[in-house]
A and B are shown apart, each in its own frame.
Chain A
Amino acid sequence: MIDAAFRSFQAAGPMEQFEILPIVELTFGGLDISFTNSALWMTIGVGLIVAFFYAATRRRTLIPGRTQSIAEILHEFVANLVRDTIGHDGKKFFPYVFTLFIFILVANYVGLLPSIPGAPHELHTFTTTSHIIVTFALAMVTITIVLIYGFAKNGLKFLKLFAPSGLPIWLMPILVPIEIISFLSRPISLGVRLFANMLAGHIILKLFAGFVIALLGAGGFASVLAIAPFLGSVAIFLLEFLVAALQAYVFAILTCIYLSDAAHAAEH
């Protein structure tokens, strides 16, 4: 039985965990809209969030219990973040930033759960945020909100973001393209950072775990050496545990900073 386990572990390469596999095949007008493992783990994440906040707000007491306390701390944390970065205009963006933060946080953490041994490949743990299309979609939502809100609030003065007042005219042809590139780089850096961190972390975890299995399988003295990659993978897991929260926080705070730029563009 252990041999079989070894074989099944070794069979999986470090990239296999990112494979998108359909669970329920669906097509819509020639488009493949299958319910995949990615969709499954997003659903699980959202389900956990809804269940947690339902449990936390079901019995609202003045002196909060444990779950209510956690929900209140999360709320306060994001509320402070939004207030400190955007200012008093920020209140209307709180629901968006909070949703974004919690979704990314839970998606990152759910991806760190161990797979159920023996489960079919489609049901293995899957980190949705390790796919660039997911993180880039989230980044584009943020930038779309920034653009719409920026133009709605400031009108054409929003374009002052690219040409701050007091800029000498001869500097314009150099600085305006730079500012435009800088603005266009925002969704890319936002999306790529989260994606790259999750991808790299999970590959390294898998590689270290693979070394442990390979060394144990070799037998003899090599098995003793397996302790080194084992300790390494524990350390990497702890790091990933930190990175999961950190990346959610970075995504949220950058969203706030960009929204604050949009809110105050005319003042530049």
Chain B
Amino acid sequence: MNDGAKQDPPSLDEFSKRLDAARGAGNEKENSRRTGSVALGRAMRVGSELLAALIVGALLGWGLDTAFHSRPWFLLVGILFGFAAGVMNVNRAFKESSDETQKDQASAGGN
């Protein structure tokens, strides 16, 4: 920071304007590239979200069964609930991603 101030640049505002202009030129391409890899990241979430909830549901059911000696009833219920939770996770992941895409597009338009 200090080095720049010593040289007494013409004006910081002017410089930041020029910087913004230079950045704006490559903005379009950069944005589309970013959304591409971001979308891939979101897609990778979906499978594991579903599976993880199913595993947790089954494990909880199995644990309750062991505690109450009621095998296999809690396990069955747990798998059902786990699957429901997994579907909800996936649904949520999609909702978040569509919200973000809208935000991205809005900010891209604003630039």
Contacts and interface: CB of A to CB of B under 8 A. Distances in A.
Interface of A: 59-63, 84, 177-179, 181-182, 184-186, 188-189, 192-193, 196-197, 242, 245-247, 249-250, 253-254, 257
Contacts, number: 82
Interface of B: 1-5, 9, 37-38, 40-41, 44-45, 48-49, 51-53, 55-57, 60, 78, 81-82, 84-86, 88-89, 96, 100, 103
B78 to A, nearest CB: 8
Main secondary structure of the interface of B (DSSP, over half): helix
A228 B42 CA distance: 31
B85 A181 contact: yes
Contact of B56 (A181, A245, A246): A181
A193 B45 contact: yes
Given A178-B88, A181-B56, A182-B88, A249 B41 contact: yes
Nearest to B34: A77
Given A188-B56, A189-B49, A181 B37 contact: no
Contact of B1 (A62, A84, A182, A196): A62
Given A193-B44, A250-B45, A257-B96, A181 B1 contact: no
Contacts of A182: 53, 85-86, 88-89
A202 B51 CA distance: 22
A169 B35 CA distance: 41
Given A178-B84, A185-B85, A254 B37 contact: no
Contacts of A247: 44
A185 B55 contact: yes
A197 B3 contact: no
A248 to B, nearest CB: 10
B75 to A, nearest CB: 13
- Which has the most chain B C-beta neighbours within 10 Å: A181, A185, A188, A245? A181
A253 B104 CA distance: 15
In the complex, the 8 A-B pairs of residues with the closest C-beta atoms, listed nearest first: A62-B4, A189-B52, A181-B85, A185-B53, A185-B52, A182-B85, A188-B52, A193-B48
10 contacts: A62-B3, A178-B88, A179-B85, A181-B85, A182-B86, A185-B49, A185-B82, A188-B56, A189-B48, A249-B37
Given A181-B56, A184-B56, A242 B85 contact: no
B41 A250 contact: yes
Given A181-B60, A246-B44, A189 B37 contact: no
Nearest to B55: A188
Contacts of B60: 181, 184
B88 to A, nearest CB: 6
Nearest to A188: B52
Contacts of A185: 49, 52-53, 55-56, 82, 85-86, 89
B9 to A, nearest CB: 7
B7 to A, nearest CB: 9
A179 B49 CA distance: 13
Contact of A60 (B1, B51, B57): B1
